[in-house]
Structure 1
């Protein structure tokens, strides 16, 4: 079921890039997308369309006999006549059997059922084949659009927002998949059925045949005229929906400003205007579509009028038998379905044509990057260790106003060059990084013209960090190593099932014209970072993190993360040793009271009730501490020890106390932080419960209210929340419940929790919790700081710091790096550029979120590491230029002064005047 025209080579025919034995799809024969949807269909799925057309043609043969059978059943089977003459029963059927009239009737009826099965079988095969072909073509189209996005020149993203682009690739092209599947096969199939029915009618009676299609020319004339207006409205609807998506995206991006400047009401009104416009467009579309539908249905119902009138008249006159009339009426009724499908198909084809043309128009921006620049892998990657020469460099904005104007300069390399001044500095660095294409002029690096270099060269030999660098929704390590992953290099062994699945996916990728590169292979270029294997790369990465002063942050992430000890078998015993040393240090320092250790037979007053009950760490989502009061098994255990009703009462009393205490407090009061089990947002809901139901009438609570109250006691920490609810008696009951919980836990849920073991490692718990094996005592002065210092000491003595940092590198950073601070994101972006050891490092105010002291230290680290490489830095603080070898002063897109640092430091230099005027 593969398509005919894909530009993809079969896997066994494809060239190999690296050891992984797969390759990126070769460039299309034409770098332009097909301008029309039918050209796209014929280019990439001609073979499928031919097969579907052939299947449709074959189905017409049984369909003709299917139309003729009702006539035979009525005339021969029921009336016992053939051509007006009685049939002499019993009859011999091809020497196979002798049948009386009833048996003959049953045979015709079974033949009717058989033809129904054959017809439905053809439809099933055609529909499945259409579905496969359509999905492959939709997958191909989305892949082509996605690769176009990768080739968009950067200024395009200033004109087109995410809100416009994303719906096009995900939603707008979705209907095209269904249309592509039926683009040729459906009109052939339905038109063939219509033609077969017409031929059948003409064979029965030419007058009735002509009567059956008498209104069709009128329909085919009226419908297109009405459809043209619908097409115009459909185009406007698509444009307006994109504008709606753009407004939603802009609102999300500017949500802080909306709140900060009280702009929500205007945004609502603005959005309402767009929704209103969309409403009236759709309203007019509905009106016109229903007019078309009314005309279709009305004309369709006129068909039986002609058949009953003409057929009845001919039957009365003895010129036609009843079976023929019944068969003709059935055939005419069957003609309605294909005709309706053809008219609907015409409407869908017009919608698809418009949608496809609009999509293509959006994905053909000026200045589209050549496919070759992204896919071509040169035999050798040339070094770019040499002077940067800018010749008459001009770059204009969208209004064709110059941002860089006739810039000419030679930046000696390797050296440290500072860019200071006004606008144009970042654009200059982006041009040198091959991210922007100048409108005039040229750039050469180490004698290589930048326009001749592919991204395989510039992306590996040049490191660029801008003022705002994007952090991907991946781990810290995934973001750091992003610049080392260009092509699949090392094959990953799979078991037989996984290998079979991979080959299945590969076949579909080929059939759909998608990438055949193995994402499961190892893409990391260890040599580019100076490593031989993953362990060496991690050591180098930790060194880079120290260089950009991010290692301490990642180390802390690692302490608070759980570790996969299967990948680090030496970690468990080392952590247990660190636990023992921590106990010794606490005792030696007299800090025993700072940590309350976990005791299998004792209650930890510095832990929550939920933690005391489970006495372990949830490994999966099988137990969620925040909602544990709703877990049926937990409630069953509480019932067994007599705590279920006590907890409900305690929950009510806690809620009543909190409502009374917090009633008049502002939402940011420190009490809300201390008693964090009830937030300021939830307090009104608890207030409604307390005001409506008394403690003696808890049976009147709804299920939702009962769950809210049951959750509260589980969040109590006796040492912190001194509300008197978790008494020593209840603590003893909880210890009894802990024992029952562990003993009665269902077998299928045992993998959801790892129980604490004083002598063992707790899977699912953080590294910090495994070392601490307890809770820091609440209310002790500087307890967390003092214990933290001891933990740092024992981790260092056990030589575990790098391993803990390695665990922290596997922490997911969230969408856009949302789990990191702004300064952490900037330092991670610098680390990403540094670890690939580029020949040329371009930095444009990369650490604006850092204080001056930290930026100075990181700058010194980079200078020390890249002493034999080139660095070009657009400075946020011009006074830092004294640390560089060469300075360029840029103002209004022109270089007004340049030279060595000594020359630019002269008293009467333009650079000194610039500093004085700041």
Structure 2
């Protein structure tokens, strides 16, 4: 990257800067004319001096001539305004393109960072630099040359005009500029130094905040919140001190400039007045000079502001570039070039070493051959095993020695080769914040292979125009022009013909790594849009009908699930669910919002339930306060009844004390709402408080029917009603199949119902469909919505799906239980038969299944060969196996 911001500007926008300069220069004649015209209006049209007999071939009297000149003045105002509009728009677009280019180049640099760099530089430092720190550069880049040319040229036009009117006034106008030009850079130097300190301090704060977010569990575990707060307070204090000193110096510079600028009018009024009195200067000329000087302050101020912005942005740019200037960056061609080199023979390590800057070597003098058609186990003690595995996968590059793939230097192969033909899975794999499906096919997205066909039909022409415009802007900004909306999935790499074939392949791979049951569970608990996936909704309704038939034929099943009936109160559902007889969509009819919802209150009033609900809420509050009094936070009663949290107890105690003295009628509106919210959470079968009477249930059924029949059209989208013959888009697949609630009080009801549903799903051959739905499950930030074992399984599936020539695993199943490990190991070994496999094992005994074993000790190869040959007394392998 260019070392200075002006080199960056000139390299990537010199043509545009020339265009800006030419447009700016073209505006100066019009600017000068707009300064000279007021003098002619005063001297010629108003004063009547030198009134022309004709103007542009027309005979004009004094008034007509005045209006012609005023019209010309207005025209010049519009022309100058148009110039400014065009120039500013051009500058803005140029600045945004250059900012986009800079951010893109910085992101490319991040992709080129060697892996050890991320152990020295956290995301808390990188992210603000690419996002916030370079943000002001966009505005400055557009102004970098245009502002000094435009404002400097404007200043020269004004000064030239003043000199033409009177040289003495011109000298007075510019007399103090040399002094300001000498003083301001000297005052700015200290501000520049403080600016660098501020950037570094804010970067450290961002790093600390990122570290806190990543380690928040440790903060709470060790009660170190106060220490972190004190640390942040100290750092914020440093920033405050630096920023305050910057403000002091900047405002002093402004004060000095303002004072100097006010001296010049003194010269104009005194000297100019003297010249007018003695007839050496016309009154109109003095008026024009004063008007010009009034405008003269603006470009000079703009130039001073530009100088300060230049210094600020220069510091920002240099500070960012300094952090992204890494001497051992990956060559950019490794990311760009397209090659295809088959993995055949073996990977040959020749005296390979690896270590990080300033640290002791992790690997030393490693020499071995790893066959690319066989299975190699890596075990040992001390460091080096994982680093050797990462070198084999080309995740790391050797610090010394060489790795050869046939005739090729392995470190010089582009990622189009290593990223497709090799795969690596570690003990703590990373998943992206997307669906599980997107994470599984991630290893198949190398280049766009097919255009997206979703824009067919109406609006396709507009979509094509938008796509072309987007591509044009990408070219002008130096960004990638690949269409992210295209189909990037390399089906052939997965051994598939298309999307349907890929789904089947994914299901096989998911089963291979024992992830199918997990994904099945995710699918059962996901919702499906019946309009987008009508075939899934139809299959689920088929399962619902089968479940209904099973319940009719098996009374025991009826004791596990209470089905929804429009004419019966569902005692295992909440009062809110009974009233809605559906699932809320969005926040309008959520349980906590019902007591303040106008339509719900209207329904309750109409059936005479409002007072009953309020009284019931009062009784619930009394019971809860009585039950919870004296209990510690976290007691099982808070979870069991879940009406009132520990922190809310004092508020409800105050409400009850108020009603005991003044009655329910004295409650404030917010207190009524609080009490009325409680009954909506009541579950008759679970909360046996004696509050759900047959009369209340009867009235609630009336309210249910009224709620549905009178629901306004603008609220129909806010609830998905339970309909025996319709799929409920707001409910999960399992809830749609059951079409009811599990009965409270039955032993192991969830596991029993789960087995019944699973058997039904298998009978109807619906499992694969549900697993496909489960693949849409969002995995969360870094896969946080999955367990550690599920993340390992997903990463294994991702690697297996792209069928690499060389699969490298480093304790990739360490989070699995023993039974799952055995299944997964067996499945992977079978799948990779005849293909390259390198596996860093966390148990030495597992190496029996491998054709070749490499035993490491403290960064060096201690033994290598067949397991049977090495597993004898006196060898390190034998010691490791015996220790297990």
Asked if Structure 1 and Structure 2 have the same fold, meaning a TM-score greater than 0.5 normalized by the shorter chain, the answer is: yes
Partner of 1:59: 27
Query: How do residues 43-58 of structure 1 correspond to structure 2 at under 5 angstroms?
Result: 43-58=11-26
Q: Work out the CA distance in 2 between the residues paired with 1:815 and 1:682.
A: 32
Among 7, 29, 42, the alignment partner of 2:10 is 42
Equivalent residue for 2:370, pick from 400, 411, 426: 411
Q: Which residue of 2 aligns with 1:617?
A: 583
Deviation at 1:573, TM superposition (A): 2.8
Name the counterpart of 1:264. 225
* 1:264–1:75 Cα change, 3 Å: same
Cα deviations across residues 282-334 of structure 1 (Å, max 9, x unaligned)?
11111111111111111111111111111111111122222221211111111
1:42 and 1:631 mapped to 2: Cα distance?
A: 61
Task: After superposing the two structures, state which structure 1 stretch, 495-504 or 534-543, moved more.
Answer: 495-504
Cα displacement string for residues 67-101 of structure 1 (whole angstroms, at most 9, x for unaligned residues):
2233233333443334xxxx59xx64434463443
User: Deviation of residue 511 (structure 1)?
Assistant: 1.4
Q: For residues 885-911 of structure 1, what are the alpha-carbon distances to aligned partners after superposition, in whole Å with 9 as ceiling and x for unaligned?
A: 221111110011111101111123232
Q: 1:904 to 1:190 in 2, by over 3 A?
A: same
Kindly provide the CA deviation profile for residues 607-645 of structure 1, in whole angstroms up to 9, marking residues without a partner as x: 122222222234555544443434333333333333345
**Corresponding residue number in structure 1 for 2:539:** 574
Find the partner of 1:815 among 771, 775, 781. Answer: 781
Offset from partner CA, 1:559-588 (integer Å, 9 cap, x none): 111123445433233222211221222333
Q: In 2, are the aligned partners of 1:433 and 1:458 still within 8 Å (CA)?
A: yes
Cα gap change, 1:355 to 1:756, in 2 (>3 Å): same
**Which SS does the other structure have where 1:545 is aligned?**
helix
Select which of 306, 323, 341 maps to 1:382.
341
The Cα offsets for residues 256-278 of structure 1, whole Å up to 9 and x where unpaired, read as 11111221222122112211111
Q: C-alpha offsets along residues 718-743 of structure 1, whole Å, 9 cap, x if unaligned?
A: 22123344443333333333333323
Secondary structure in structure 1 of the residue aligned to 2:147: helix
User: In the alignment, what sits opposite 1:431?
Assistant: 391
Q: Which of 243, 246, 264 is equivalent to 1:285?
A: 246
> Could you say if the C-alpha distance between residues 478 and 626 of structure 1 is closer, same or farther in structure 2, counting changes exceeding 3 Å?
farther
Most deviating of 201-210 and 502-511: 502-511
Bigger mean CA deviation after superposition, 836-845 or 562-571: 562-571
2:729 counterpart of 1:770: no
From 727, 745, 765, the equivalent of 1:779 is 745
Q: Could you say which residue in structure 1 is the equivalent of 2:404? A: 444
Indicate conservation of the 8 Å contact 2:393/2:806, yes or no.
Answer: no
CA–CA separation in structure 1 for the residues paired with 2:664 and 2:228: 45
Conserved 8 A contact 1:385-1:870:
no
Distance apart, 1:601 and its partner CA? 2.2
Q: Which runs of 5+ in 2 are unaligned?
A: none
User: Are residues 447 and 910 of structure 1, via their aligned partners in 2, closer, same or farther at CA, if it must alter by over 3 Å?
Assistant: farther
CA distance in 2, matches of 1:351, 1:692: 61
| 1:660-694 residue CA offsets vs partner (Å, 9 max, x unmatched) | 32132222222122122433344444445445565
* 1:761 matches 2:727: yes
Counterpart contact for 2:720–2:730, Cα < 8 Å? yes
| Correspondence for 1:654 | 620
**What is residue 902 of structure 1 aligned with on the other side?**
868
| Runs of at least 5 residues in structure 1 that lack an aligned partner in the other structure | 1-32
Cα distance in 2 between the residues matched to 1:44 and 1:702 = 66
Q: Check whether the contact 2:609–2:699 (CA below 8 A) recurs between aligned residues.
A: yes
Instruction: Confirm whether residue 720 of structure 1 aligns to residue 682 of structure 2.
Output: no
Question: Which of residues 321, 324, 328 in structure 2 aligns to 1:360?
Answer: 321
Answer yes or no: is 1:454 the counterpart of 2:414: yes
Tell me, yes or no, if the aligned pair for 1:386 and 1:447 is still in contact at 8 Å: no
Residue 537 (structure 1) aligned with residue 502 (structure 2):
yes
2:828 maps to 1:868? no
The aligned counterpart of 1:172 is: 133
CA 1:650/1:185 → structure 2, altered by over 3 Å: closer, same or farther?
farther
- The count of residues paired between Structure 1 and Structure 2 equals 877
Contact 1:420 1:878 in 2 (8 A): yes
Instruction: Identify which of 463, 471, 492 aligns with 1:498.
Output: 463
Q: CA deviation at 1:116?
A: 2.4
- What do you get for the CA RMSD once the two structures are aligned? 2.1
* CA 1:725–1:304: 2 relative to 1, 3 Å: farther
Partner of 1:488: 448
In structure 2, the partner of 1:23 is none
SS of the residue 1:238 aligns to: helix
Q: 2:487 aligns with which of 510, 522, 527?
A: 522
In the TM superposition, residue 541 of structure 1 has moved relative to its aligned partner by: 0.9
Q: Could you say if the C-alpha distance between residues 732 and 907 of structure 1 is closer, same or farther in structure 2, counting changes exceeding 3 Å? A: same
1:148-297 equivalence runs, <5 A? 148-297=109-258
Structure 2 CA distance for partners of 1:475 and 1:694, relative to 1, 3 Å: farther
Correspondence for 1:303 among 243, 264, 270 = 264
Q: Which residue of 2 aligns with 1:836?
A: 802
Does 2:38 match 1:70? yes
Does the CA-based 8 Å contact 1:463-1:840 persist in structure 2? Answer: yes
* In structure 1, C-alpha distance between the alignment counterparts of 2:4 and 2:664, rounded to whole Å: 69
* 8 Å contact from structure 1 (residues 52, 126) kept in 2: yes
Q: Structure 1's 343 and 697: CA in aligned 2 closer, same or farther, altered over 3 A?
A: farther
Q: CA deviation at 1:550?
A: 1.0
Q: 1:880 and 2:841 equivalent?
A: no
Residues 377 and 841 of structure 2 are in contact (CA less than 8 Å); yes or no, is this contact kept in structure 1?
Answer: yes
Name the CA distance, whole Å, in 2 between partners of 1:122 and 1:711. Answer: 63
> What is residue 741 of structure 1 aligned with on the other side?
707
Match of 1:470 in 2: 430
TM-score, normalised on structure 1? 0.92
Alpha-carbon distance change, 845 to 595 in structure 1, aligned in 2, over 3 angstroms? same
Pair 616,327 (structure 1): closer, same or farther in 2 beyond 3 Å: same
CA 1:385–1:114 in 2, change beyond 3 Å: closer, same or farther? same
- The CA deviation string for residues 814-848 of structure 1, in whole angstroms up to 9 with x for no partner, is 11111111111111111111111111111111122
Q: Which whole-Å CA distance do the structure 2 matches of 1:158 and 1:699 have between them?
A: 65
CA distance change for structure 1 residues 168 and 645 in 2, over 3 Å: closer, same or farther?
farther
Match of 2:60 among 98, 102, 127: 98
8 Å CA contact 1:385–1:840 kept in 2: the answer is no
Out of 836-845 and 588-597, give the one that drifted further: 588-597
Change (3 A) 1:510 1:875: same
Distance 2:661 2:502 in 1: 62
**Which is further off, 513-522 or 441-450?**
441-450
* CA contact 2:528–2:537 (8 Å) conserved in 1: no
Measure, in 2, the Cα distance between the counterparts of 1:915 and 1:686. 64
Residue 852 of structure 1, CA deviation: 2.5
Question: Counterpart of 2:182 in 1: which secondary structure?
Answer: helix
Corresponding residue of 1:479: 439
The answer to whether the aligner puts 1:799 opposite 2:765 as a matched pair is yes
Change (3 A) 1:127 1:850: same
- In 1, the alpha carbon distance for the partners of 2:830 and 2:403 equals 27
